[in-house]
Structure 1
Amino acid sequence: MMNILGINVNARSLRRVRQVIGVLIGYGFESLIEHLHFTQFMARGARLFRRGGKELAQLSPAERMRLALEELGPSFIKLGQLLSTRSDIIPRSYLEEFSKLQDQVPGFAFSHVRTLIREELGGEIEDIYASFSEEPLAAASIAQVHAATLKSGDEVVVKIRRPGIVEEVETDIEVLLGLAFLAKRRFPDNCSFDPVELVKEFARSIRCELELSREGRTIERISGYFADEPTVRFPRVYWEVTSPGVLTLECMRGIKVSDLAALERAGLDRKLIARRGADVFIRQVLEHGYFHGDPHPGNVFILPGNVICLLDFGMMGRLDSSSREFFVDFLRSLVNKDPDRIISLLLYSGDISDTLDSRALRRDLSDFIDDFYELPFAEMSVGKILGDLITLIAAYRIYFRPDFMMLAKALVTVEGMGRMLDPEFDMVERMRPFVEKAATDRLSMGHIAQEVGGSLQSYYNLARTFPDDIKEILNRLNRNKFKIDLEHRGLEHFIRELDKSGNRLSSSLIIAALLIGSSLIMQTDKGPHLLGVPILAFLGYTVAGLMGVWLLVGIFRSGRL
């Protein structure tokens, strides 16, 4: 392991760091690299990758960053897609560009498919499947999909993880974590969010996507929630031919929800489909707290009888019971025009800064709610309202949890599909009975009894362990092993500047000593001479001059005289 600016990296990660820096500089982000203090180590060589041309110069920074992420590959594309849901921390221009990121890539060779099937399922394709299409139906950055038929005659689709993608992603996670730690150290007071926690959230998300058998378990979990609901279907998982790297699912033949002409030809009811699709998503959120994080039209098929079929469960959002209660209260407060209640909910959530100007926030929330109520129906959108509200709240350094941001983006997508199917579709009215039911259920005797029981159990556990905890503290005090760790935050920059000043002062003293010593040697006129000057004096002046030039260059480059 090597240490680069405080980042521990192996040889493979070091090559990847060089590549990342090269691509960023190539797209005009030299200042970012310089702020991270990578310039003196790697940026000089990376400048060889600098792109030219007027086309790049005419692009906005957001467009250039999108192109850089696309060039850096699957992990960075997935990171950009995750950031596209974070309107609370990412500027709107970057959100729009990151939303354009696509991870469609050329498929890998069928020879690799054979090898992967053999390694994952323990047999040859011909021994497991009656037929298997060599051409993929679709190929993405994580996996590609093939049509196949089982020996039983069941038609299936087989999702196969790309060869080497796990190692590639793990290397990128290591690099991103190192860069995040470095950014946190360099800008402890300037970061409006924690970059390390952001990368950890990304790592958790992409690792879930890499384990295809996990997606199979997710499908079975969601289908269990709707087992008695005939208006929605989920593909069956064939576990006997599924592994972490291979997922075999029932082939669902339906009409893509965005193919309106085909829906009309099939005699399907577009308005009913819009209502059913919205109901399925709302129930996932409010009743089960486990929802599809990427419900775009490519992942929604319509089966005969106006039945909704959801596909691709690699990206899921999760809301625990307290988060669902927060969401319901938040929506009700918004609908009831209650900015004070919204502020109290935000304070309770804990994602709020100590310098909050609550009076200004209350004023802005009141103005926002008034504007929201004056919107005509055609412009009223739950997703847009939530997005604009999150942007407003983020200006006060209040940040939502990642799953809330994923929910806001998913709501925009679901509402957009609803209005595509039915221009008169009203997501607000569709959500209202579910929100009211969720609020009413919290007041039921069963729910109250459950909450009281849980609280009593917590207090009982606290009372049971309290004597032992006090005894442990006293024992540590008696053995002089009681420690309090104090962390000084924000001192890294001061220490770094102090070291820099000390180095310059030391260099100045050395230069002065060399000049004085060389001048004294000149006065004695002793020892060998060169061009009539004592050699020792000549060397002293030369070294002092070079050090002086080096010191001045460093001072000018820092921009602070």
Structure 2
Amino acid sequence: MFSFLKINRNIRSIRRYWNIVRVLSQYGFDNALEMLGLSDVAARGRHLFKRGALDLSRYTSAERMRMALEELGPTFVKLGQILSTRPDIIPAPFVVEFEKLQDHVASFSFDDLRDQIESELGASVEELFEVIDHVPLAAASIAQVHRARLKGGEEVVVKVRRPGVVKLVESDISAMMALAQLAERHISGSELYEPVAVMREFARTIRREMDFSREGHTIEKFRDNFKSTHWMHFPHVYWSHSSRGVLTMEYIDGIKVSDLASLQKAGLDRKVIAQRGADAFLEMVLKHGFFHGDPHPGNVFILPENRICLLDYGIVGRIDESLTSFLSDIIIAIVNRDMDQVISLLLFAGDISDSLDIRSLKRDLSHFVDGYYEVPLSDIEVGRMLLEFIEIITLYNIRIQPDLMLLAKSLVIVEGMGRSLNPDFDMVEHVRPFMEKALRRKMSPKNIYKDLSMVLSSYSSLARNLPRDLKEIINRLNRNKFKIDLEHRGLDKFNADFDRSMNRLSSSLILAALIIGSSIIMQTEKGPQFLGFPVLAFMGYVVAGLLGLWLVYAIIRSGRM
């Protein structure tokens, strides 16, 4: 039974894999397929996959890739959205295009909704809800949301996972992982970007997003972090009506933060809202190390008394103590214009390449700092400054943690909302007290003692393990069991091309032998005759002709004459 299910899953993955190849070829990415070692597939695609009326010359490669992701469906749209927060991995034009990706999907029927709810919660819709709207409030690639009322009269929203989306996503992940492995195997320099590791991280992210029970626990964690902050509100989760595929939450009747006219009409204070929003986000980052990763205006509602409520907790970021310390040290070094310290921190915290040009990096960072020299603090956009800093270091292939990228993007959104609510909004003034607290905490005797203890513990562990490790290496050398594994990159494509050339050469030799042998038999005029010619010679010529036609067709189809 399990073997049969596994075979079915593998067949689905293979079908999806070929569909991905078809779409990439359709949008003109044959060169990318060839780089992945799929030159035969790319050549076949040029002849078999029709591109229709699409004029590829009108679009940039980034635009074509965005359109390809949209055609491939929800999993690839999610991948593009996540990659749009990773300028350290993809070029700037692709970041801009991927930011445009949206979920354009039709809502599924109420009958499917009913089946999903009853399957997940083990009871009928009539038993669970007094009423539930048939028309969804919103529909996305993974789920759709309906308004409802519980038996006790509570107004709620029900988030229901789309039928079949788990199988589709798993199939897509298998195909994506296969392509990522091909990229690491065939594309020189891809190890710097670790495509397989990126795909594993994406798989973890989207699987967490499809598990609505995780989102429910995330909401409760945020509520617990802000339990003493009366002006922050988080939706109540009804666990009796929730599962991994269904999430029932309190209905929030508020005003979108971007609806300035309604805020004004309701008598709400936009300046207070901007201040509280900035303080809440900075507290998430610098105090709790756990922040909302998608705070766009559609996910921020304002309630009476200028209270703030956040929605959609599918994407969250985590900033641990070491990353918080790194941010503090970077900011101090930039303020002091100490580029040597900035570079030292980057070398310590980031993944760097062996070819890093430190002198050029120092020059570009100095120009970056000079650009903000004597600029009034109120005119500095902290989020964009952080993005500009990240853009510089990614030019030198210095990779930093994905959560820092997500933080920079989120900070830009929060700062933009603050300035739209209050034109005099100054993020620097909000950041300063949090940074001062972080620095005092870092320089406190307790923290210094903790750091010293960790350093001493590390050296103590090294001192204990070093003799044993050296002894193990010497023993392996003495037993001739010391091995060094060497990995050759890019040889698979060479081997495939070499095998193909040898096959063609062998076919050519057989073709020549058939022609020569048939000609010799033709001269002997012995054996059975057909129309006055020896039958064996006639058959040899026919086979040689067919083999020659096949060989010419194969060469033309490959696109390499």
TM-score scaled to structure 1, two decimals? 0.88
CA displacement, residues 513-533 of structure 1 (integer Å, 9 cap, x when unaligned)? 445545554565544566766
Counterpart for residue 425 of structure 2 = 425
Instruction: Work out whether residues 418 and 425 of structure 2, in 8 Å CA contact, stay in contact via their aligned partners in 1.
Output: yes
Q: Tell me whether 246-255 or 518-527 shows the greater mean CA deviation.
A: 518-527
Counterpart for residue 293 of structure 1 = 293
Counterpart for residue 162 of structure 1 = 162
Code of the aligned partner of 1:489: H
Q: Give secondary structure in 2 for the equivalent of 1:145.
A: strand
Counterpart for residue 20 of structure 1 = 20
Structure 1 residue 104: Cα displacement: 4.5
**Hey, what's the Cα distance between the residues in 2 that align with 1:42 and 1:340?**
48
Counterpart for residue 409 of structure 2 = 409
**Hey, what's the Cα distance between the residues in 2 that align with 1:556 and 1:21?**
21
Structure 1 residue 437: Cα displacement: 2.1
Matches within 5 A, 1:191-340: 193-340=193-340
Instruction: Work out whether residues 212 and 243 of structure 1, in 8 Å CA contact, stay in contact via their aligned partners in 2.
Output: yes
Counterpart for residue 487 of structure 1 = 486
Q: Give secondary structure in 2 for the equivalent of 1:352.
A: coil
CA displacement, residues 102-133 of structure 1 (integer Å, 9 cap, x when unaligned)? 11532211112222221211211222223322
**Hey, what's the Cα distance between the residues in 1 that align with 2:229 and 2:542?**
87
Q: Give secondary structure in 2 for the equivalent of 1:11.
A: helix
Structure 1 residue 63: Cα displacement: 2.1
**Hey, what's the Cα distance between the residues in 1 that align with 2:480 and 2:395?**
45
Structure 1 residue 244: Cα displacement: 0.6
Q: In 2 relative to 1, CA 420–343 (structure 1 residues): closer, same or farther, beyond 3 Å?
A: same
Q: Give secondary structure in 2 for the equivalent of 1:10.
A: helix
Structure 1 residue 293: Cα displacement: 0.9
Q: Note if 1:385 corresponds to 2:385.
A: yes
CA displacement, residues 201-260 of structure 1 (integer Å, 9 cap, x when unaligned)? 111110110000000111111221111112312112222222111111122222110010
Code of the aligned partner of 2:292: H
Counterpart for residue 141 of structure 2 = 141
Code of the aligned partner of 2:183: A
Q: Give secondary structure in 1 for the equivalent of 2:291.
A: strand
Q: In 2 relative to 1, CA 378–285 (structure 1 residues): closer, same or farther, beyond 3 Å?
A: closer
Q: In 2 relative to 1, CA 52–405 (structure 1 residues): closer, same or farther, beyond 3 Å?
A: same
Code of the aligned partner of 1:73: G
% identical aligned pairs? 54
**Hey, what's the Cα distance between the residues in 2 that align with 1:201 and 1:157?**
30
Instruction: Work out whether residues 37 and 182 of structure 2, in 8 Å CA contact, stay in contact via their aligned partners in 1.
Output: no
**Hey, what's the Cα distance between the residues in 2 that align with 1:167 and 1:9?**
9
**Hey, what's the Cα distance between the residues in 1 that align with 2:233 and 2:310?**
7
Q: In 2 relative to 1, CA 147–393 (structure 1 residues): closer, same or farther, beyond 3 Å?
A: same
Q: In 2 relative to 1, CA 368–472 (structure 1 residues): closer, same or farther, beyond 3 Å?
A: closer
Instruction: Work out whether residues 18 and 46 of structure 1, in 8 Å CA contact, stay in contact via their aligned partners in 2.
Output: no
Counterpart for residue 86 of structure 1 = 86
Instruction: Work out whether residues 43 and 557 of structure 2, in 8 Å CA contact, stay in contact via their aligned partners in 1.
Output: no
Kindly indicate whether structure 1 or structure 2 has the higher relative contact order, using CA contacts under 8 Å at least 6 residues apart. 2
**Hey, what's the Cα distance between the residues in 2 that align with 1:193 and 1:238?**
42
Q: Give secondary structure in 2 for the equivalent of 1:69.
A: helix
**Hey, what's the Cα distance between the residues in 2 that align with 1:126 and 1:464?**
66
Q: Which structure 2 segments of 5+ residues have no match?
A: 1-7
Matches within 5 A, 1:115-134: 115-134=115-134
Counterpart for residue 3 of structure 2 = none
Q: In 2 relative to 1, CA 465–356 (structure 1 residues): closer, same or farther, beyond 3 Å?
A: closer
**Hey, what's the Cα distance between the residues in 2 that align with 1:498 and 1:379?**
61
Code of the aligned partner of 1:27: Y
**Hey, what's the Cα distance between the residues in 2 that align with 1:190 and 1:508?**
37
Counterpart for residue 4 of structure 2 = none
**Hey, what's the Cα distance between the residues in 1 that align with 2:265 and 2:190?**
57
Instruction: Work out whether residues 275 and 418 of structure 1, in 8 Å CA contact, stay in contact via their aligned partners in 2.
Output: yes
Instruction: Work out whether residues 89 and 192 of structure 1, in 8 Å CA contact, stay in contact via their aligned partners in 2.
Output: no
Q: Tell me whether 262-271 or 147-156 shows the greater mean CA deviation.
A: 147-156
Counterpart for residue 74 of structure 1 = 74
Q: In 2 relative to 1, CA 474–370 (structure 1 residues): closer, same or farther, beyond 3 Å?
A: closer
Provide the alpha-carbon RMSD of the alignment.
3.2
**Hey, what's the Cα distance between the residues in 2 that align with 1:481 and 1:229?**
66
Code of the aligned partner of 1:324: T
CA displacement, residues 245-284 of structure 1 (integer Å, 9 cap, x when unaligned)? 1111122222110010111112222122112111111121
Instruction: Work out whether residues 43 and 559 of structure 2, in 8 Å CA contact, stay in contact via their aligned partners in 1.
Output: no
Counterpart for residue 434 of structure 1 = 434
Q: Tell me whether 349-358 or 379-388 shows the greater mean CA deviation.
A: 379-388
CA displacement, residues 72-109 of structure 1 (integer Å, 9 cap, x when unaligned)? 21101101101111112222222111111111532211
Counterpart for residue 359 of structure 1 = 359
Structure 1 residue 295: Cα displacement: 0.6
Code of the aligned partner of 1:487: L
Counterpart for residue 152 of structure 1 = 152
**Hey, what's the Cα distance between the residues in 1 that align with 2:295 and 2:527?**
86
Q: In 2 relative to 1, CA 499–178 (structure 1 residues): closer, same or farther, beyond 3 Å?
A: same
Counterpart for residue 5 of structure 2 = none
Code of the aligned partner of 2:278: A
Structure 1 residue 333: Cα displacement: 2.4
Code of the aligned partner of 1:224: D
Counterpart for residue 4 of structure 1 = none
Q: Give secondary structure in 2 for the equivalent of 1:156.
A: strand
**Hey, what's the Cα distance between the residues in 1 that align with 2:497 and 2:247?**
54
Structure 1 residue 59: Cα displacement: 2.9
**Hey, what's the Cα distance between the residues in 1 that align with 2:472 and 2:220?**
46
Q: In 2 relative to 1, CA 376–472 (structure 1 residues): closer, same or farther, beyond 3 Å?
A: closer
Counterpart for residue 176 of structure 2 = 176
Instruction: Work out whether residues 149 and 156 of structure 1, in 8 Å CA contact, stay in contact via their aligned partners in 2.
Output: yes
Code of the aligned partner of 1:221: K
Instruction: Work out whether residues 473 and 482 of structure 2, in 8 Å CA contact, stay in contact via their aligned partners in 1.
Output: no
Code of the aligned partner of 2:123: G
Q: Give secondary structure in 1 for the equivalent of 2:201.
A: helix
Q: Give secondary structure in 1 for the equivalent of 2:177.
A: helix
Structure 1 residue 62: Cα displacement: 2.1
**Hey, what's the Cα distance between the residues in 2 that align with 1:426 and 1:259?**
21
Q: Note if 1:189 corresponds to 2:192.
A: no
**Hey, what's the Cα distance between the residues in 1 that align with 2:42 and 2:558?**
18
**Hey, what's the Cα distance between the residues in 2 that align with 1:81 and 1:200?**
16
Code of the aligned partner of 2:492: E
Structure 1 residue 488: Cα displacement: 1.3
Structure 1 residue 53: Cα displacement: 3.1
Q: In 2 relative to 1, CA 538–428 (structure 1 residues): closer, same or farther, beyond 3 Å?
A: farther
Q: Tell me whether 46-55 or 276-285 shows the greater mean CA deviation.
A: 46-55
Instruction: Work out whether residues 511 and 548 of structure 1, in 8 Å CA contact, stay in contact via their aligned partners in 2.
Output: yes
Counterpart for residue 65 of structure 2 = 65
Q: Give secondary structure in 2 for the equivalent of 1:148.
A: strand
Q: Give secondary structure in 2 for the equivalent of 1:134.
A: coil
Q: In 2 relative to 1, CA 369–521 (structure 1 residues): closer, same or farther, beyond 3 Å?
A: farther
Code of the aligned partner of 1:95: V
